[in-house]
Amino acid sequence: MVKTSDTLLDHLRPSPVVAARFAKIKERPVVLEIDRLGRQFPGEHGPITALRDISLQVHRRELVCVIGPSGCGKSTLIRIIAGLDDPTSGRMLVDGKETSGPCPERGMVFQGYTLFPWLTVKRNVMFGLQMAGRPASEAEREARQWIDLVGLSKFSDNYPHQLSGGMKQRVAIARALAPNPRVLLMDEPFGALDAQTRAQMQSHLLEIWRNVDVTILFITHDLDEAIFLADRIVVLKANPGEIQEIIEVPVPRPRSLDQVHSPEFQATRRRLDELIHPKLHTPAEHLPIIRLTQAGDDVE
């Protein structure tokens, strides 16, 4: 597939079917709105701005990915939305109501699993339901359904240490979904998994999302993951963390792994690459101190 980048980037323009889908999504109510959100940390030489003027509207049942170079504040952003950190300016609205602090309407899946190791899979999933004051029998029935949905019914009485990384993260997803959140926040949830498991989990997440009425905000540093999952991709830039661009992913749904080679996918990939690694597209200069390896033959 030899194409100049210009014609490749033409594929960023969505096809009529995809465009119609975006139009429909935009008609849906806004579930999560953040308005000129900013976060400063005290530093040795005055405050350091981690996030500046982040404004974003996420519609119902939309899947939005946030990507950016390391240190751009994507984790800070999701922690603020989860209520685990406070913004220094701006506000956040869920279903049009201003909100702050942690709350089960904004569920979270962490990179480090964070399952409660002393509880079985079932009891982990029941945790949020019980916090909401639901009676144990009802919570148990409901938890079982969520465990079925993530495909772990055989393991509902196992402890987390008996599960693999992928399974743990599925439990974490079930646990976060059980209290019926409006928004599911996912902070690099598959970052610690190996490539194969990660691909499985991505497909699995899309399948869950198809069946559940939930809006997802997903943070990742993996460009392919973002394109594969997202309706829209928010690209952040570092120092200070600001929104650089919001890209509507032109890859049609339902998504499958074959689409990785489609021109739409590749075009999006190229565009993201340019935004995130602008330096990679200019030839690098090596410092004289680096000794380049020479095997002694001409094979490169």
Partner 1 sequence: MSRPRWFAVRQDLSPSRKRLLGMTAFLLPLLLWSIVSYVPFIWHPNIKVIDPGEVSWLRPGLQIPRADFAKEVATAQATGARVPTGERANPIYLPAPHSVARALYTAFTTKPVLRGDLWLHESLAMSLKTIFWGFILSSAIGVPLGILCGAFVSASRLTEPFVDFVRYMPAPAFGALMVAVLGIHLEPKVAIIVIGTFFQQVLVVANTVRKVDCSLIEAAQTLGAKRRQLVLRVLLPASLPDLYNDLRILLGWAWTYLIVAEVIGVSSGITFFINQQAKYRNFDNVYAAILIIGFIGLATDQILAWIGDRLFAWKNPRPSRVRTFVTRLFAGRDVLLFPDKPTA
Looking at the Cβ atoms of 71 and 112, the one nearer to partner 1 is 112
The CA distance from 70 to 290, in Å, is 25
Per-residue string for binding with partner 1, 155-184, x by CB under 8 A? Answer: ----xxxx------------xx--x-----
Strand order in the sheet with 30-41: 48-59, 30-41, 89-94, 97-98
Does the footprint of partner 1 cover residue 68 (CB under 8 A)?
Answer: no
Looking at the Cβ atoms of 57 and 130, the one nearer to partner 1 is 130
Instruction: Select the residue interacting with partner 1 from 132, 136, 246, 280 (CB under 8 A).
Output: 132
Minimum CB–partner distance for residue 37 and partner 1 (Å)? 18
Instruction: Select the residue interacting with partner 1 from 21, 61, 127, 144 (CB under 8 A).
Output: 127
Q: Are strands 63-67 and 232-237 parallel, antiparallel or unpaired?
A: parallel
- Residue that is written with structure tokens 């109501």 in the block: 97
Asked if residues 9 and 271 have their Cβ atoms less than 8 Å apart, the reply is yes
Instruction: Select the residue interacting with partner 1 from 50, 62, 110, 215 (CB under 8 A).
Output: 110
Looking at the Cβ atoms of 123 and 271, the one nearer to partner 1 is 123
Does the footprint of partner 1 cover residue 252 (CB under 8 A)?
Answer: no
Q: Which of residues 73-92 bind partner 1 (CB under 8 A)?
A: 82-84
Does the footprint of partner 1 cover residue 108 (CB under 8 A)?
Answer: yes
Does the footprint of partner 1 cover residue 135 (CB under 8 A)?
Answer: no
The CA distance from 247 to 236, in Å, is 11
Q: Are strands 30-41 and 89-94 parallel, antiparallel or unpaired?
A: antiparallel
Exposure string over 89-127, b if 16+ CB within 10 A, otherwise e: ebebebeeeeeeeeebbbbbbbbebebeeeebbbbbbbb
Per-residue string for binding with partner 1, 219-248, x by CB under 8 A? Answer: ------------------------------
Instruction: Select the residue interacting with partner 1 from 10, 36, 91, 112 (CB under 8 A).
Output: 112
- Local structure of residue 163 (DSSP, 8 states): S
Asked if residues 235 and 248 have their Cβ atoms less than 8 Å apart, the reply is no
Cα-flanking dihedrals φ and ψ of residue 260, to 5°?
-55, -30
Upstream peptide bond of 240 is cis (omega within 30 degrees of 0):
yes
Candidate ranges 46-54, 117-125, 207-215, 257-265; the one touching partner 1 (CB under 8 A):
117-125
Looking at the Cβ atoms of 106 and 170, the one nearer to partner 1 is 106
The CA distance from 121 to 132, in Å, is 18
**Any residues with CB less than 8 A from the CB of 176 and at least 6 apart, and which?**
107, 108, 109, 128, 184
Does the footprint of partner 1 cover residue 154 (CB under 8 A)?
Answer: no
Overall residue count recorded for the chain in this entry: 300
Does the footprint of partner 1 cover residue 116 (CB under 8 A)?
Answer: yes
Residues lying near partner 1 in the complex (CB under 8 A): 82-84, 102-104, 106-108, 110, 112, 114, 116-119, 127-128, 131-132, 159-162, 175-176, 179, 185
